[in-house]
Amino acid sequence: MTYRSTLVAAACAVTLSLGQLAVAQTPAPTPPAVATTISNLASVPAPAVAARAWISIDLTSNQVLAEDRPDERVEPASLTKIMTAFLVFNALKEKRLTLDQAVNVSEKAWKTPGSRMFIEPRKPVTVEELIRGMIVQSGNDASVALAEAVAGSEGAFVALMNQEAARLGMTNTNFMNSTGLPDPQHVTTVRDLALMSMRLIEEHPAEYAYYKEKSFTYNGITQPNRNRLLYIDPTVDGFKTGHTDSAGYCLVTSAQRGERRVLTVVVGTASDTARSQESLKLLNWSFQNFDSIEVFKPTQSVVDAQVWKGAASTVKLGSTTPVWVTVPRGQAGNLKSTVERTDPLLAPLTQGQQVGKIKLTLDDKPVREVPLVVLEPVQESGFFGRAVDAVRLWFK
């Protein structure tokens, strides 16, 4: 891949293009622009999706490919159970629950209306069975039983749901229950749903495997996973369906093809068939019309910068994680990279310390921005070295 790289340090720009190095004076950098939705740069427009709201995100680069009404508040229905599962997985990770732990089924859980896994009072059920009943069978009774196992009551669990939503940055979400049963104040957006789903995959990759199970049997009753795409497309391995009369038919879908993973959220479609068809249409368009490129490898030096008052004269700056960017297919050669950093860099510098940002643009439009960090620590130099650099900085 060929792309243009620019380094901006204070008011001095160093431009690297095709191996040629030039230095020019430029104004101080302006505040970063908001990243462009990638479909706006593509020659193939986003498909018409018959849904109230939707979004498609490339999880390899964490970039929005296309969206429609992403911040409109909607009813999440059983997509709520993604957050319920998130908190249960947190409890497992923190050893507050175990998979083989027996859970008492309360009368409230047993009588919860809507979709069910058919748990019964006084009949033993494990945490893992409840997880599978909630995810595969979309059991409202399982959701309430798990909420009570984690927090003692569904009300206390809902408070945890909203705390976790705030931690994840779900700014337009408010939960009122663990199931998704209708409530006027139980609202979210497709952007928030995508963020929650993305973070569940990121923070609980092993537990995410529950979402690709096609059926589950409990109490002698076998129920299929309501996500039809698990049967239609072998690259689909999740995520969750939802439906109420007021919310319509909803689906969060995740699929991996090669190195790329794409997540779509579609809400408010007219039928079970429609939510599957519209989601698959959006998935196929997202995979077929874009490329994801690894621009920088983890710990790869993006720039060697001068250090003042340090035991070393230079320091390597870059990213501690792979830097991927998604662009319309065939446009990787037009990608440009700009590095903006603090100048002067003064020791001591700690590994991972942010000292700037890496900005990636296509046709002068921002597509991604990531932190620029110190890759290797630099200690302060001795008294004499610091004194010399202090004088040099005075005249700089």
The residue annotated as part of the active site, out of 39, 61, 81, 381, is 81
Q: Are 49 and 68 in contact (CB under 8 A)?
A: yes
pLDDT score at 391: 46
Q: pLDDT per position in the chain (396 positions), as tens?
A: 444 444 444 323 333 322 222 222 222 333 333 356 788 888 789 999 999 999 999 999 999 999 999 999 999 999 999 999 999 999 999 999 999 999 999 999 999 999 999 999 989 899 999 999 999 999 999 999 999 999 999 999 999 999 999 999 999 999 999 999 999 999 999 999 999 999 999 999 999 999 999 999 999 999 999 999 999 999 999 999 999 999 999 999 999 999 999 999 999 999 999 999 999 999 999 999 999 999 999 888 888 888 877 778 888 999 989 999 999 998 998 999 888 887 788 879 899 999 999 999 998 888 889 999 999 888 765 554 445 445 455 556
The residue annotated as part of the active site, out of 39, 56, 61, 78, is 78
* Alpha carbon distance 177, 184 (integer Å): 11
The residue annotated as part of the active site, out of 39, 138, 178, 319, is 138
Taking 3-state DSSP, the helix, strand and coil percentages for the chain, each rounded to the nearest 5, stand at 30, 35, 35
Let me know if 81 is a catalytic residue.
Answer: yes
Strand ranges of the sheet holding 365-374, from the earlier edge strand across to the other edge: 20-25, 12-17, 4-9, 335-341, 354-362, 365-374, 314-318, 301-308, 345-346
Paired residues of 303 in beta bridges: 317
Please report the beta strands in 31-172, taking only residues with DSSP state E, as ranges in sequence order: 53-58, 63-68, 102-103, 125-126
All structural domains of the chain:
4-34+295-394 (2.60.410.10), 45-288 (3.40.710.10)
Q: Are 192 and 175 in contact (CB under 8 A)?
A: no
Dihedral (CA of 360, 364, 367, 368) sign: positive
Q: How many other CB atoms are found less than 10 A from the CB of residue 381?
A: 20
Identify the helix (H) or strand (E) that includes residue 157. helix 154-168
Which of left, alpha, beta for 343 (phi over 0: left; psi -120 to 50: alpha)?
beta
- What are the residues whose beta carbons fall under 8 Å from the beta carbon of 23, sequence distance 6 or more? 12, 13, 14, 15
pLDDT score at 393: 52
Let me know if 138 is a catalytic residue.
Answer: yes
Let me know if 108 is a catalytic residue.
Answer: no
Paired residues of 54 in beta bridges: 68, 266
